[in-house]
Amino acid sequence: MEASPAPSVKIFDTTLRDGEQSPGASLDLREKLEIARQLEKLGVDVIEAGFPITSDGDFEAVRAIADELTGPVVCGLARCVEADIDRAGEAVRGARGGARIHVFCATSKIHREHKLRKGTAEIVALSRRSIERARGFVDDVEFSPEDASRTEPEVLVEICAAAIEAGATTLNLPDTVGYAVPAEYGRIFAMLRAQLPQIDRDGVVLSCHCHDDLGLAIANTLAAIENGARQAEVTVNGIGERAGNAALEELVMALAVRADAAGGGGVNTGIRRREIYKSSRMVSTLTGLSVQRNKAVVGENAFAHESGIHQDGMLKNPETYEIMDPRSIGVPESKLVLGKHSGRAALADRLRDLGIEASGEVLQAVYDRFKTLADRKKEVHDEDLEAIVDDLHASAAGPAGTGRGAWTLHGFQAVANAGTPSFAFVELVDPDGETRREAAFGDGPIEACYSAVQLITGVTASLDRYAHRAVTGGKDAQGEVRVELSTDDGRKARGRGLSTDTIEAAVKAYVAAMNRLATRAAEPASVPAQP
């Protein structure tokens, strides 16, 4: 005997309607079309393209999407108002992939008494007439008793029975204000199926629409699916009113990764999961709503690891700390983020990626400098590592590659005041390991530091060239300073310094150049050839 096929859940995407209601997320026609095309590639079953009565722009967007897309059903939202329904019907009339009108009416006690100021019988009659009117435009009508999760069970049963009789093909039970908890929300679906057998008998689709005000949108959606919902209303990145909606990417991946348990187990969707990340980036870019770093599935940190223990496990087997392959949603690869919690294994792996082989004492030296830098930066970038290795090579060679000891910066203080000379106090460790200190004034803090360095080293030089650039991005970027010095007797030397502090980088560069000049002081000056 063949096993029964796994149940399928339709993905109803309302990014272009409920998602666009997020403050600041307004989209123009071109942007809506671009997102709709991507949603078609993603494989959503229904696109709620807008609320046609609200503006001419929304009407045109729904009509344009309906006229172009051939895959998804295109849906327009309408209140139980004749003008709304007629406008939605006109907008989706030419839908190539299927047309739907989504009619809603508030049913909870607080909405009946304070918003609509109508009795239950009046609301039932109004909903019935509205569904019948919508059926005059399309065969596919969805009805939502708004605030269903706070509606009395007997009222919900009465209005849903009337909606089915009037011709609704989908019944959506919204948790409009994100009030429900999973067990409670699931029971609403089970209760309706038990008391209205015509739902299953006539193939009426139960749908769930959950908001995230208590952070329970996905949990509630899974509870609804477990209790018979066969359509889930979601948005890309979870955008939407207030705290947002159930996130498409979270629901789809929960059903895929936990196929054994989520939604009751073995529930399928038609989503092409490799298009998820691309869809997320597009919606974020076009709406201007950033995705929080720790957002599940599509956040910047979703596949990023900084802890040394986690990085070591990832290098041995990614499944130790990742429950899904990032490539399965379109993310190229996981990231081992190098920061203060990272270990040697991740550092060595990143160095190999950069073509740098380091082990033993060399790796330890790089690691020590890396940890020092990581305490000052949130993230250490590849350019930082290359700079550390380059600096170590220069230090190991000694001044001008002689292998001799060198002056090193121990510390400094610099004070700059408008209208008065700057003051600097510098400490250097000499080639014999002794600490030397001097103070000096200058036109600015860097010049004051340079004067102090000259006093300590006994080398006088002119600054011929000074260049500064950021080698990494962000407010904690590491800066690189390059200087070129010359002496009266014709000696020249270059130096390079790196630090998140510009003055420190400048002093390091100057000390490096002075080391080279000090080495060359013992060498005879070059004699020009005679003509």
Q: Which segments are annotated as binding site for Mn(2+)?
A: 18, 209, 211, 245
- DSSP characters over 192-207: HHHH-THHHHTTPEEE
Binding-site positions: 18, 209, 211, 245
The CA distance from 149 to 53, in Å, is: 26
The CA distance from 229 to 167, in Å, is: 19
The CA distance from 162 to 2, in Å, is: 38
Strand order in the sheet with 479-486: 462-470, 479-486, 492-499
Beta bridge partners of 448: none
Q: What three-state secondary structure class fits 215?
A: coil
Task: Assign residue 178 a region (left: φ > 0; alpha: ψ between -120 and 50; beta: otherwise).
Answer: left
The CA distance from 75 to 140, in Å, is: 9
Cβ-count burial of 194 within 10 angstroms (0-12 exposed, 13-18 middle, 19+ buried)? Answer: exposed
One-letter amino acid at 26 equals: S
Cβ-count burial of 293 within 10 angstroms (0-12 exposed, 13-18 middle, 19+ buried)? Answer: exposed
Task: Assign residue 119 a region (left: φ > 0; alpha: ψ between -120 and 50; beta: otherwise).
Answer: beta
